A and B are shown apart, each in its own frame.
Chain A
Amino acid sequence: MTSSTSVLWVFIVGCLLSSARLIFDTPRVAHEAQDTALRSGQRFSDLRDALPKAGVVGYLGESGDFALGHYYLTQYALAPLVVDHSSEHAIVIGNFPRSQPAAFPDNLKLVKDFGNGVLLFANKDAN
């Protein structure tokens, strides 16, 4: 076997090592039911019917590591409505999947609690 043929076999074995990684690592990719449920937007299905078909609504959410992700998922679920991360809108969506605060800003009036931490507010100060 020539040296170039040997190195070719090293190349092939090297590639197959990474193929083995695909085979052995992939079954560990768990089906995350919670992640799928979050992305499917089921939590917002009732809220969607209570909102206008288009326009811009406000958003009030949790703080912490997952806050941004939850906001993005809210926008994803409610498109084509634009969800602005601000409570300075006539309609404001509350999204508290983990823990609901004891009190909300004074200018927000709770219109409806849809359960699962999904709330609908009206902003008394907005035009």
Chain B
Amino acid sequence: MATIGAAILCFATGYLFVALAIGEFHFQPDLMFRICLSLGLGEGLFSIVYFLARCFGFMALWRIDFAIFALLLAAYLFSRARRRNVVLSHPIRQFSARGLVTIAFAVALFAALYSATLRFLAHPYGSGWDSFAIWNLHARFLYRGNAHWRDGFTALISWSHPDYPLLLPAAIAHFWTLLGHETPVVPALLGLVFTFAAAGLLVSALDILLGRTSALLGGMALLATPFFIELGTWQYADVPLSFFFLATLVLLHMHRAQFAAGAVDGRLSNGLLALAGITAGLAAWTKNEGVLFLCALLLSRLFVRPDSRPLPSTKSSPRSPGLTPFLLTLLPTFCILLFFKRFIAPAGDLFSTPVSMLHKLEDASRYWAVLKWFGKELFRFGQWLLIPIPLLMLGLFIMLKGKIPREASPAIRASVVALGLTLAGYFFIYLITPYDIYWHLRFSLNRLLLQLWPSAIFLYFLRIGSEPLDFRSNHA
């Protein structure tokens, strides 16, 4: 009973946040979009609440959670009474998918669910070392430590990466506290939720922005990535991180699409940006790579202005709010992360002395080694059978080239630059790594690429657009 209550409370908190930001649901893909976003957001918020409760030493979590829920509900009811519900409009009309594409997607979804369930049952404590040596260990320090919870974040056990942010451990500890006992089911279920919420978010976002065919093909590309499904059951933080990367980009593109359509009030526009700020902050609170992504995202907005394309100017068209709502909602999570890094966590292990790093940066053989691994892993990180999906996507792009707009929109360009800069950041970290470079590449590069994979699929289908994949026009 407590398990169900805790899960409902977590989801409802996330859902109310989403509803407060962007109004109520109105049609099918929007409902799925909100549900998937709420699942990830709820877990992120649970994590933040737990961490703050630990810091302030007030652990009456049921009471805190109900108070937050009641406050959000009151705010939601109040705002609902005061305003018209906003319809998330389709900027581009939907196309109906052919039956066989739907069946193929259903097969991919079934295969993913089947595999994830079997893995969940076979390895209730997760797989690989990081699950018990990092994420669940930190969750135990938070949950079991009581007044001594900070003991776990010590350089004495630097191998456990005590500087890693706490989204996953604190969310797990939150559920354990609500349940009153530790159970391996919690981290295992959180992993599954993030895996399928990421897939659902991708499908629903593409459905809203482009149409059903793009959505099903995009979802298929992700669900048919064996390593994505596998890693989702390992109880690592890479899949949750990929969820928040994707959510941030999706929300920024929805903001742009709604803004470009000029059919909505500024409130929805601000709401989407505000949610993007929260998800970007939660990415930084999930793993250190999230901080890199955040910097890349902000930098990309300097290189490419997503709003640079002139919009139809009408009296009712909203003025772009810039990134202010994004930065405002990002700030609280970022301050919490800074507090954790400054006052609780010891220094990280990736940055050695400037002289040593410079020495490594001068070594051309390291560039070649990293480049070779990047080239190799790009087509095999997903553990696909026979034909790597990135290769299939490349082939599809080349074949459809004549129908694809010659130039990508500034918004897509900005997001691609953000992912590119993140990838460049990963490249740089390998160059200066204090560990054996081949060992480091071997045990982490596939996971780093997977973090970006759902976002890459999303941007790929946005770039192609809806028309080249419209079966009706292809068969007309």
A and B, one complex? yes
Taking beta carbons and an 8 Å cutoff, which residues of A are in contact with B?
2-5, 7-8, 10-12, 14-23, 25-27, 29-32, 35-36, 39-40, 53-56, 69, 72-73, 75-76, 79-84
CB distance from B310 to the nearest CB of A (A): 31
Closest to A2 in B: B474
The CA-CA distance from A16 to B221 in the complex, in Å, is 9
Partner of A17, one of B122, B124, B157, B385: B385
A-facing residues in B75-128 (Cβ within 8 Å): 100-101, 104, 107-108, 111-112, 114-115, 118-119, 121-126
Closest to A23 in B: B111
A-facing residues in B110-167 (Cβ within 8 Å): 111-112, 114-115, 118-119, 121-126, 129, 132-133, 136-137, 140-141, 144-149, 151-152, 154, 156-157, 159-160
CB distance from A10 to the nearest CB of B (A): 7
Taking beta carbons and an 8 Å cutoff, which residues of B are in contact with A?
100-101, 104, 107-108, 111-112, 114-115, 118-119, 121-126, 129, 132-133, 136-137, 140-141, 144-149, 151-152, 154, 156-157, 159-160, 184, 217, 220-221, 223-226, 229, 382-387, 389, 392-393, 395-396, 399-400, 403, 468-469, 471, 474-475
A76-B137, A79-B144 given; A18·B385 CB < 8 A: yes
Q: Enumerate chain A residues within 8 angstroms of B384, measured Cβ to Cβ.
A: 14, 17-18, 21
Q: Enumerate chain B residues within 8 angstroms of A20, measured Cβ to Cβ.
A: 111, 385
Partner of A16, one of B104, B122, B132, B151: B104
> How many cross-chain pairs have Cβ atoms below 8 Å apart between A and B?
158
CB distance from B278 to the nearest CB of A (A): 30
Partner of B474, one of A4, A31, A32, A83: A4
Binding site secondary structure of chain B = helix
Can you add 15 more A-B contacts, CB < 8 Å, to A5-B471, A54-B147? Answer: A4-B400, A7-B400, A18-B226, A18-B383, A22-B115, A23-B111, A31-B122, A36-B124, A40-B184, A53-B148, A54-B148, A56-B151, A73-B132, A75-B133, A80-B141
Interface pair A29/B392, CB less than 8 Å apart = no
Q: Enumerate chain B residues within 8 angstroms of A21, measured Cβ to Cβ.
A: 226, 383-385
Interface pair A80/B112, CB less than 8 Å apart = no
